[in-house]
Structure 1
């Protein structure tokens, strides 16, 4: 039988014995535990239920007696006290409710105990029946006493009934206590049986464990002996073979693993003996070969000695020649270590032969050359470097190196020579000094001549620049005078023209109030009103050129206006392709949006007229500064600007046309096709906004307009819409205007919609009227331009009379200049002539309803 089979059988026997012992112990313990659990599941709940049952029964008896006693005492002692009677009745009800609750608890506990008896202790059924009968008797007696109490018949025989009731109570209590005592005795007996069973189980387990341990020891000893004895024989045989006795064999006869091991051992001993014999033969053979090799080696050693002697002789000759040479000679191996230096090299380096060997030769070089010398060693045509002695003496050298290799072609380092070139370097430096001195002399002379030449050129250039500046200033002055003169003329014409339009507009407004839309003259009056607006646009262009056309200034986004207006324009001129290149981060500008739209539209129309057959209209915006604005007729103020470029591919203009392009009433169009005010109003509007405009054009090469407007840091506000409805109010208005037609029309319009109106044709008259009637006057409509006393002076005088005065300023000019100054001083609003009754009434209402 094999060893592992013996081990398995022994292990199975021990395991089986341990299992049997364990099973017996578990079985005994389980039976005891089952009995204990059965007793615990029955006895403990039964005792608890019986305790509850006893408590409920006793509570029924005590509560019934208390109930009966209260009623009896009440009848005997407190018959005449009404409140005491009510209290006792309430107590009766509470006790009766308590008795019913206890009866319910008693019945529930009795049912639970009955279930436990049926499940675990049928032998206790007789005791259960006795408890049930006594409990029924107690309940019946309690009910009887309660009924008698309600009927008021409890006085007779109360003591006897109470004693009988208490006897039933005692019998019931004794019966319950007897059963509880019996349950406890049964539980104690079962517990003792459990302890006896556990003691027996412990003894069985201990005996089983001892038996299993003895069996395991016997089986282990048997198996150990069957294994160790053959192994000892193998150990002894191995010791004999180790001593050199290769004929030793084992006599183990077994079919298990140890027998197989013994057979393998004997076979190994046979092979070892055979290999030992073979090894002795090989040793003898190799010994003969070594003797032959030794003879051959002696011959090679003799030959090498002769070669080394020749090499030593050659080296000595090299040393002698190198020592006598006027050049520095050195040998460096592949590890950059010095193997040899001659006397001349040591002199240049300022060190001894021993100091130069190894890594010491680096210290003989100049510090600035010691790092770069390794990169120069491979140069084919040589290199320059410096030596520096410990005393600080510097020697210049020109070096050449050549690689060395052994007989097999392996690199052995470098051999190099250094030629002292210090004297040549000194001569080169002196020559360089002479050359530099000559060059300095030439430079100084050249600089003197150049300076004289530059002074002459500067004088000539200054004279030319002065002439150009004079011409430029003259052109600017001439341009400014021309523009100022034409602007003044245009402003005056527009002012008078607006007053005429104001008279016509006022009468039309009054007539429209009195007729409805079905009147035969209604459409004609509306047509006249539209023609008045055309006249207003014409006067706006004149005022724009005169730089008096900026009426409502607010922060706007130029990109948005360009985009919207160009899209609308492109739909009407489909033969023109519009290209947009608008800056995303374009600055905000403060401007009159209508005036900016007028500028764009005039430039678009001018470009379209220059491209009758179609073409490209390029629109571009970008942020710039004053440094980016370059034009010959003005010098821009410092700051940020936005640039608008309008470029067309049309017919272009000649020089004479460009010079007059911004003149009022100048046009290249046919008679009846243009007023000549388009580009002149563009110029005036841009100038009024503090901006600049320039133009570039060539015939047949298109035209480019560039508009520059000052940038603003203000934020864009949302637009609000003014109602066109006439607002009727009952207030008092003072109209101040030097034009009688304006006075009449304002009076008629305002009185028509319910206002009371005072009029004055001069500043003096207005002040006097206001002084007398300031308590009645709610608002003043004040013309800004009047003879003798201006609107600003009138406003200041009225303000002195009443600090809370409300004034609406009117003018044909813009909100800039004097109008802006008056508004800044507290004036409440501005209205531009000509205006209709709708706009006037809306402005007045806005001011009157505005909170100060």
Structure 2
């Protein structure tokens, strides 16, 4: 772009900054161009008109032209004035000029061209509706002037015997042209605006997608590192809990660590639900029991100024993963907590209703009865504009660094994946009510235990030789310790190449290989392929903290006997080892 074009663009942007929706930006650019053109080119028209008026001694023309040109300059430099005021004033100018010239000079001045431009300006700057109204106003003005022609009030009519006939012929032609041009221009610019809106919406959607795609890639890596950190915490806390007597004062602290670890593992899975199908073992759950069980976890995050009340009206069964429902409750309660900086009341209710009693939801068509989970708060509430966007990923009203905008978006994704719906009601000063509707299923519910079950040593396990490979020393040590406590013989390697060098000399031969997926130089997949070539019948278990890679790793490779998602519990590890040994 040349320097002159860049300066022109900058000047137009200064006159009327192109902000707002695409059609608003279009109209602001057009307004800026019209005002700048009126000031620059209008100067020559002003000079010619005033010169002719001076020669003919018509003072009124000098006054009107000067007033109009001065008003155009003020509109041009008045970039702080509202757009509607500036555009409306520019639209009115040709109507006033046209009326003035037609009244005083009739067909000998530029009255009709000014009148013709009046509705066109309105359509372009204010829209089709304004253009149609302007055509109506133009018709009224031309009719009013035509009706007073016989009275000879206008200076020029007495000297023109056929003025009335010429007037109606010219007026009807101008009116027809004005209507056609105004409607055409209005629809043209509205069409361009809709196209620009659609293009902007497509660009925003592409940018939004889902950014979530980038989030999926990012969280895959974060999940790997985060779950690697959780693995030794989970394993060691379980073992420490097992070694202590039931009445030991430290056991409740270890229970809290294990519960928090479980919640952290579920949280990672819920975040990843934006970019992959929901994972987890869904079972029949009694929603009320889960809400009561989760109450202790929720109370741990509430300050003393916030009261929590949980009411279970009905025993209602749904199909879900307990961890994901606990995360739903925690996210909704956290959102309520942040809406009550000065304290208040959070109420959790569980009940069962016929679908027709809670609304005819098309998303639940074919469902007779639903579980209803309601979380209400006495917080500050939300405006309608905010309420419409609360389930939108990344939308947050918090300051930068205070929220990700994923909490309620995760809730919506989870409930939708469970075949339910989530609704929100709120108003400023009236608190917020989040209602979750889920299809019910016949019981009985699975008996849930918030803590992982204890594991015991396996008889005759010493005959099995387990090889573990992981580049993270803490995970490698925690995993091998557990396997040793179960009674197995264990050999551990931090480097895949070291295992391959010693594989043929291992005594006794390995019964199972556990390998991490993401390792430098050689991945777990590559290691598994190399080992599989040497010992095709050896069970190989993949350990991974990157949930995004689970499907990619397992689906195309028959060499993997199973996958352990980090952080895995001691019971999950034990069950996997027994499963692999049963296949030998």
Q: Give the TM bin, normalised by the shorter chain.
A: 0.3 to 0.5
| TM-score under structure 1 length normalisation | 0.35
Higher relative contact order (CA 8 A, sep 6+): 2
- Larger helix proportion of the pair: 1
TM-score, normalization: structure 2?
Answer: 0.48
